[in-house]
Every structure is written in structure tokens, then in C-alpha cells.
């Protein structure tokens, strides 16, 4: 694929994201405007939970509305996680990006980590996507990433996501390969999301090529593959011959 073909393929797979401390309702307005472009619309927007009720009525109804839970540390209490998920769904969220309790997992609390994902799955209403953020840069080793991926899938994850974008190491192709191999072997209906450092059409193309290699061409669709980013959209639009939709775009991951 050439770069314009990659950009056209990647744009509808994008979770347009803003998770900055200084986000405001104006930030959300800009994000909503950016999400529908001359080249098509993104898959979803991903925002803080406190903005979900505000965003729901102003978003194009073709878009998913995602929010983050147990974010970014992965250390919230189970009851808080369950309450946050239920409140987000009640306010209009239809996609939940849950941080896997990676610190507890690394400390040997494997059952606890699985139970948190299972509790989140149970709290999600029918049809709500549960994306589990493994924070692969903190898990570090292939063995840990593989085991966490397996645990998340067995506990009910609809998607495996690489990163919060809030740690030193975001998405990497090595981690993505491990995650996609687990998905291939366990359940090809589980999706994959790369987030943290995917900024250009070239970056996106590398992850799409990896998905094609492992999962087969045609597997990557908005139902099975996402990019979590904000600045990526501007590069995709420039590649496709369109100016960025909104000057001074909000930054996320």
C-alpha cells in the first residue's frame, strides 16, 4: 500500500482522543467537529468520563463514544470501577477503555487482575465494548504481555489495547505482535488497539501491515482494529489532501 492508501484505511479506524488535564467543554466541541472529516468519519471519540454526558448529544450518531476507567494507574478499587462504568454507560458511553491492573499483575496478583476485568465485563451493558489497556510498556517482557493478554481475553475483553499514553513507553510493534498472536490463537473476534505514539500515516501502516500478516488481510476493521490518537488525524488528512479540520487540535495520546 502507498501512504495515501494507508491513510484512507486508517482514518475510519481512529479513536480520536483527548485525555488532557486541562480539557474543557470547548475541547470536546472541537473534538466532535474534527471527528467527521471531508475524508470520512473516525470510529469513535475517547474522552474523560466527566464529559460523556455533555458529548453524547453533540456527537455524530455514527461515532462510538468511549471513556476511560481505572485510568491511568490501573489501581482503583473494584467497586469504584464498577460504579464508574455504570455511570458512564448511563450517560451515553458505548465503549469502555479499562486499564488492566498491571501493577498488581506484576506483583503476582494474577487472580485479582483477572477478577477486575471480569467485574468490568459484568458491569458493561449488552453491546458495550470493553477495551482492556494492558500498559505493555510497563509489563515490558514478551512473557508478561502474553500472559496479560490471555488473562484479559479469558476475563471478557472485547479489545486488547497497548497503552494509556501516559507512561514513557507507548505502543510498540513488538508488543503488538505478541498481542495479535494471542488474539489469533485464542479468539480472532477480539479486537486490537494501538495507542501511545502512533502519530503518522507511516506509523499506522506498520501496525496495519502487522495485523494483515498475523490475522489476514481484511481482518482489520472498526469492529476489530483501532488507533488511539489525536494528532494522527491531522497527518492522515494532510496525506489525503485535506487541511486539518480544526486549527490547534486538542492533544491526547
| 161 catalytic per annotation | yes
Backbone angles phi and psi of 43, in degrees to 5: -75, -45
Q: CB of 228 within 8 A of CB of 192? A: no
| 168 catalytic per annotation | no
| 166 catalytic per annotation | no
Cα distance between residue 23 and residue 251, in whole Å: 9
Backbone angles phi and psi of 203, in degrees to 5: -60, -50
Q: What SS3 state is found at 194?
A: strand
Q: CB of 220 within 8 A of CB of 176? A: no
Q: CB of 73 within 8 A of CB of 124? A: no
C-alpha cell at 209: 501491515
Nearest to 117 by CA among 159, 146, 89: 159
C-alpha cell at 37: 472529516
Catalytic residue (one of 23, 34, 131, 193)? 193
C-alpha cell at 241: 489532501
Catalytic residue (one of 161, 203, 234, 235)? 161
Angle between helix axes 231-239 and 3-10 (nearest 10 degrees) is 130
Cα distance between residue 47 and residue 235, in whole Å: 21
Bond preceding residue 81 cis, omega within 30 of 0: no
Catalytic residue (one of 23, 97, 158, 203)? 97
- Using the structure block, give the residue that is written with the C-alpha cell 502507498: 2
Which residue numbers are catalytic? 97, 161, 193
Amino acid at each position: 500500500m502507498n501512504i495515501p492508501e494507508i491513510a484512507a484505511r486508517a482514518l475510519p479506524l481512529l479513536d480520536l482522543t483527548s485525555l488532557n488535564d486541562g480539557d474543557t467543554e470547548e475541547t470536546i466541541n472541537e473534538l466532535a467537529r474534527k471527528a467527521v472529516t471531508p475524508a470520512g468519519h473516525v470510529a469513535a471519540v475517547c474522552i474523560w468520563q466527566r464529559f460523556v454526558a455533555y458529548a453524547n448529544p453533540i456527537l455524530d450518531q455514527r461515532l462510538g463514544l468511549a471513556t476511560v476507567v481505572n485510568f491511568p494507574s490501573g489501581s482503583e478499587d473494584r467497586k469504584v470501577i464498577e460504579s464508574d462504568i455504570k455511570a458512564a454507560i448511563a450517560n451515553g458511553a458505548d465503549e469502555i477503555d479499562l486499564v488492566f491492573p498491571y501493577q498488581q499483575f506484576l506483583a503476582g496478583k494474577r487472580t485479582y487482575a483477572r477478577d477486575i476485568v471480569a467485574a468490568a465485563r459484568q458491569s458493561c451493558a449488552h453491546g458495550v465494548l470493553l477495551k482492556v489497556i494492558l500498559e505493555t510498556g510497563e509489563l515490558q517482557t514478551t512473557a508478561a504481555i502474553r500472559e496479560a493478554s490471555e488473562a484479559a481475553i479469558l476475563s471478557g475483553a472485547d479489545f486488547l489495547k497497548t497503552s494509556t499514553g501516559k507512561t514513557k513507553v507507548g505502543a510498540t510493534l513488538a508488543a503488538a505482535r505478541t498481542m495479535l498472536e494471542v488474539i489469533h490463537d485464542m479468539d480472532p473476534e477480539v479486537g486490537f488497539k494501538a495507542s501511545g505514539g502512533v502519530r503518522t500515516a507511516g506509523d499506522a501502516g506498520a501496525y496495519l501491515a502487522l495485523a494483515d500478516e498475523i490475522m489476514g488481510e481484511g481482518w482489520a476493521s472498526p469492529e476489530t482494529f483501532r488507533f488511539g490518537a489525536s494528532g494522527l488525524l491531522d497527518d492522515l488528512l494532510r496525506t489525503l489532501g485535506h487541511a486539518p479540520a480544526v486549527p490547534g487540535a486538542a492533544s491526547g495520546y
